Amino acid sequence: MRPAQEKQTTTGLNQLEQLKKFTKIVADTGDFESMRAYAPQDATTNPSLIYAAVQKQQYAHLLDEVIADRKRSGLTGPAQIDDIIARLLVKFGCEMLEIIPGRVSTETDARFSFDVEGSIEKARELIKLYEGQHIPRERILIKIASTWEGLNAAEQLQEEGIRCNLTLLFSLPQAVRAAEAKVQLISPFVGRIYDWFKKENKRDYTGAEDPGVQSVREIYTYYKKFGYETEVMGASFRNTRQILELAGCDALTISPDLMKELSESDEPVERKLDPAKTKDAKIEKLELDEKRFRYLLNDNAMATDKTAEGIRKFAADIVKLEKLVASKIS
């Protein structure tokens, strides 16, 4: 056993605590109790998580409170439902910010993924609602899909001082465009990349050979070598092996189940990603315009498939949430 590992083992820290030494831990959940239990720095949600949360007894009151508060808004039909959902997302975010010391990511409507102005207006609406609750915009990240239009929207929002988290990101071209747009943070989806290659090639992947892990390593190395400040946050994990292979990444957003698993192990954690080790990487800078971006994304079957699928799934969960709200206000 190497001395560094021996020292970590004798400290009595579990793997989650060890990870916190060199990676920002972000809760990937709508569950407040798990945040209290595992003390992450930040939190991130998506429509699927919020939809699941409001159907649980302990969180159903949040939706009921928003509906009761907005009965006299004067809005009707789709506008009323949209208003309630936006305020529900912000209510969850505010509750999370009472627990965590850092930032919360709140997602725009996935149906705006190819609509620059729609994404911008929804982001401004969410920030205005947060500021109405005395939450500074520095504590909010607006999640937008990593389409060309989403990236353009994020670039403008960043210029307005609205920080963005580019989600549904599956390839280096998406990451490069995000860095050039000076977005605050990106969320490459490790598990969904793994899922695609496992299904496509009919084999499993572990450790450093995992395609999802390799994708984040590639992006991290590119960013650090060329001095980009955009944060890399690995997301969508299927197991703790993927997480541990990315120890040292700027941030990792982890589900409660996997945080629990990490907290129950005291095996040593080795830092795998380090900015100092990227300087000699033999990679060339990628030059992008819209035509080049769209071609490279189209040429990557996995990234094309998973970006489109992710947008469809998040949009479907927004529709489910709308139907739930409609049933309650009727």
Catalytic residues: 143
Structure tokens at 317: 């969960």
Structure tokens at 67: 């509906």
Backbone angles phi, psi at 77, to 5 degrees: 60, -145
Q: Output the CA torsion 49→54→56→62 (10° steps).
A: 130
Q: Is the dihedral of CA 124, 186, 309, 173 positive or negative?
A: positive
256 contacts: CB under 8 Å, gap ≥ 6: 27, 29, 31, 34, 37, 38
CA distances from 193 to 42, 270, 288 (A): 24, 23, 23
What does the DSSP 8-state code read for residue 55?
A: T
Q: How many Å apart are CA 221 and CA 3, to the nearest integer?
A: 27
Classify 176 in phi/psi space as left (phi over 0), alpha (psi -120 to 50) or beta: alpha
